[in-house]
Amino acid sequence: MSEMITTIDARDGLEACLRELRNRTPRKPPAHIEQSAREIVERVEADGDDAVVEYTARFDCPTFDASQLLVDADTIQAAYDHASADWVRAFRRARENVRRYHEVQMPRSWMEPFDGMIMGEVFRPVQSVGVHVPGFSAPLFATVCMSVEPARVAGVERIAVATPPRKDGSIDPLVLVAAAECGVDEVYRMAGAQAVAAFAYGTETVEPVHMVVGPGNPYTMAAKRIVYGVVGVDSIAGPSESMIIADAAADPAWVAADLICQAEHTGDNTVVLATDSPDLAAAVDAALQSQTDRRDRADLIGQSLADFGLIALCADLHDAALLCNEIAPEHLQLMVADPFALVGEIHAAGAIFMGPLATVPLGDYAAGPSHVLPTGGSARFASGLCVRDFLTGSSLIYATERGFGRLASDVELLARAEGLDAHAAAVRIRRRAGFGPDPDEEMKR
């Protein structure tokens, strides 16, 4: 076995695997990150543009000033000069796939009669959304599409994007073209906790929004946690994660390639292979070394594999599914002979890629579902970003005289049992007006 990744024999139980993974990926952020993010948020709330400019100059572009905060239309249009025609065509095809997927997700408003009542639900879009698009070390133009298109399908009227400037003050042109293609209304040169705060509270230049979405570093996530309630947020996401469940028939070179592609983001990406085949485990281990050496981001890949990678040799695929449900990974690949049978045993995963051809990059760029997914085990109770996140639902209740009469006595009794006399009185005043059973007659009985 190589030293690139840890292998654990879990055929007698999964406890060692789970312990190893929990030790490597603490879920609570360090206190200093929370404190720093709070200071930034409070400063932006108090000082607006001045604070955003100061932090952007400190972290991203040393010569930054307030005039650069909002990207003008001419700069966005000029970005097309740096995007090849082939890239634009590919992006448009991917965008269309994402749009069509989320159009199918759209829930319908409804009203139905129910024994003297008319009840239903009406869905309305959030009015404005701010999308955080981090820079990291790559232009994350796909995040623009994956965050904006579900909002557009939901009917959000105003969508703004925040993304960090480079050291010379420019923004990667592909990010700008992606924003234009997706119909973004505003693009701001800002990122991190200061961008989240600007979206939440507004500044002289940045109009506040109702919801902030998108990935980011730990400071960005801490800021989202702090402003939640002032605005809605999609999730508190961490580094990217991927798990593969594979059987003996899987191609070890393909498995290794898929682990590696998810390990190249930031050097702290969790990648796990669970298999019931000792031969596959050994072959994948060997392939990781040879393939990593050929990748541009070999250092980041090696760091992720060494610090957050794991091969779990399981007794069977059922145990591999149990391990998945405990981990609740952001991405799960089922590289097994019958993925449709195994998927029924999966209860917690952000996105499930079924079969050997469904590699995660298909979902990252073009398949359709958003690649903004729950991390850190939150797939146990949360879902990936989708059209429903940008909708609010209001229940509808209309009472006919018959419907009110059917419920009135029971509601009055239940309200009194809770000690809420005013609730009961709100029903009784209508009964005394002749609607529903006469309360005085009831008391006589």
Residue 35 lies in a domain: no
Separation between Cα atoms, residue 364 and residue 382, nearest integer Å:
19
In this structure, the number of other CB atoms found within 10 A of the CB of residue 365 comes to 17
Percent residues over pLDDT 70 in the chain: 96
Verify that 258 and 339 share a domain, yes or no: yes
| End-of-domain residue from the set 208, 235, 262 | 235
Percent of the chain with pLDDT over 90: 88
**Which amino acid is present at 51?**
A
Which among 357, 276, 360, 362 is positioned nearest to 320, based on CA atoms? 276
Cα(91)–Cα(148) distance, integer angstroms: 13
Give the model confidence (pLDDT) of 218-268 as tens digits: 999 999 999 999 999 999 988 899 999 999 999 999 999 999 999 998 888
Say if residue 84 is in the same domain as residue 206. yes
A 10 A CB-CB count for 398 gives: 12
Is residue 121 in a domain? Answer: no
Distances (CA, A) of 63 to 56, 168, 343: 9, 8, 52
Query: Using only C-alpha atoms, what is the Rg of the chain?
Result: 26
Question: Would you name the residues annotated as active-site residues?
Answer: 330-331
Joined together, the tokens standing for residue 163 give 């993304």
Domain assignment present for 391 = no
In a domain, residue 118? The reply is: no
Residue 408 contacts residue 437 (beta carbons within 8 Å): yes
pLDDT at 445: 57
Give, as one character, the DSSP assignment of residue 228.
Answer: B
Same domain, 256 and 374: yes
Q: Are residues 321 and 430 in the same domain?
A: no
How many other CB atoms are found less than 10 A from the CB of residue 127?
13
Q: E strands of 133-189, at which residues? A: 158-163, 186-189
Pair 273, 347 in one domain: yes
- Kindly tell me if the per-residue pLDDT of 321 is higher than 80: yes
Shared-domain flag, residues 159 and 179? yes
Task: Round to whole Å and give the CA distance between 415 and 411.
Answer: 6
pLDDT given at position 22: 83
Report which of residues 158 and 1 the model is more confident about.
158
| Residue 191 · residue 211 · CB < 8 Å | no
Q: Find out whether 117 and 397 touch, Cβ atoms under 8 Å.
A: yes
223 and 360 inside one domain: no
Residues 283 and 326 in one domain: yes
- Domain finish residue from 174, 205, 235: 235
Give kind and range of the element (H or E) at residue 87.
Answer: helix 85-105
Burial class of residue 252, CB neighbours in 10 A (0-12, 13-18, 19+) = buried
194's tokens: 């200061």
| Number of domains, the chain | 3
Are 349 and 425 in the same domain? no
Q: How many other β-carbons are positioned within 10 Å of the β-carbon of residue 33? A: 16
Mean pLDDT of the region 265-280: 94
Whole domain around residue 438: which residue ranges?
A: 400-444
**Which of 235, 252, 269 is the endpoint of a domain?**
235
Consecutive H or E run containing 442: helix 439-444
Which residue is listed with tokens 């209740």?
Answer: 397
| 263 part of a folded domain | yes
pLDDT (tens digit per residue) in 178-212: 999 999 999 999 999 999 999 999 999 999 999 99
Same domain, 103 and 21: no
Residue 115: both structure tokens together: 């024994």
Mean of pLDDT over the chain: 94
Domain at 363, CATH number? 3.40.50.1980
**CA–CA separation, 150 and 99 (whole Å):** 7
Domain co-membership, 224 together with 338: no
According to DSSP, residue 90 is labeled H
Task: Kindly report, residue by residue over 30-48, the tens digit of the pLDDT.
Answer: 889 999 999 999 999 999 9
pLDDT, tens digit, 9 for 90 and up, residues 81-136: 999 999 999 999 999 999 999 999 999 999 999 999 999 999 999 999 999 999 86
226 lies in some domain: yes
pLDDT of 28 over the 80 cut: no
In a domain, 42, yes or no: no
Residue 117 domain flag? no
How large is the average pLDDT for residues 263-281?
A: 94
Asked whether residue 301 falls in the same domain as residue 420, the answer is no
Looking at residue 267, its pLDDT comes to 85
